[in-house]
């Protein structure tokens, strides 16, 4: 398997691999255009989003700045909204459903690292993240690797989501936990 195939499969891989380095550089160039676009230049933003994301670039709306590792591993449903300063580390698939609101400063991490210090010097790996339809993620929340958030759920501002969140709940805190069910 190539290092890219290992990465996408969630296996340990070498992030210094030349193919992965080139892919990240391509994303950085697209992000530079996106983050420095003239305010109101919707056509430029739309074109960059179409090229950057694995899917959903036609209907996503985001407020720059936005950062990600690759972009091509981010699959967006219809009408996803990213407010200012969002970051997605997409070394594995990050799937975001329809009509999802992501508040300022939210970080979504599919990337993680070995606990063993020696391995950590040369390897990393990832776990996919899935966010359902009609989810609202509050400002400065962190979504950790491997997490699934169910449809219609609300994640409180500042939460650290390290475990799955079921559908139709309000969840908040560090660690994030279910506060109540939604009607």
Q: Which residues are catalytic?
A: 113
Strand order in the sheet with 129-131: 74-76, 94-96, 129-131, 148-149
Cα separation values, 123 from 61, 98, 109, 112, Å: 34, 34, 16, 10
Q: Which residues contact 29 (CB under 8 A, 6 or more apart)?
A: none
């Amino acid at each position: 398997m190539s290092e890219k195939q290992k990465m996408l499969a969630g296996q340990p891989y070498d992030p210094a691999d030349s193919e992965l380095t080139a892919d990240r550089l391509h994303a950085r160039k697209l992000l530079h255009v996106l983050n420095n676009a003239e305010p109101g230049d919707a056509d430029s933003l739309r074109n960059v989003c179409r090229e950057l994301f694995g899917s959903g670039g036609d209907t996503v709306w985001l407020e720059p700045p936005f950062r990600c590792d690759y972009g091509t591993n981010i699959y967006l449903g219809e009408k996803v909204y990213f407010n200012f300063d969002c970051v997605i580390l997409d070394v594995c698939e990050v799937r975001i459903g329809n009509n999802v609101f992501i508040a300022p400063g939210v970080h979504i991490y599919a990337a993680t690292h070995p606990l063993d210090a020696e391995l950590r010097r040369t390897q990393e790996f990832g776990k996919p993240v899935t966010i359902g339809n009609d989810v609202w993620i509050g400002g400065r929340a962190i979504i950790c690797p491997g997490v699934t958030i169910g449809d219609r759920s609300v994640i409180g501002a500042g939460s650290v989501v390290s475990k799955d969140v079921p559908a139709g709940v309000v969840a908040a805190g560090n660690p994030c936990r279910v506060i109540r069910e939604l009607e």
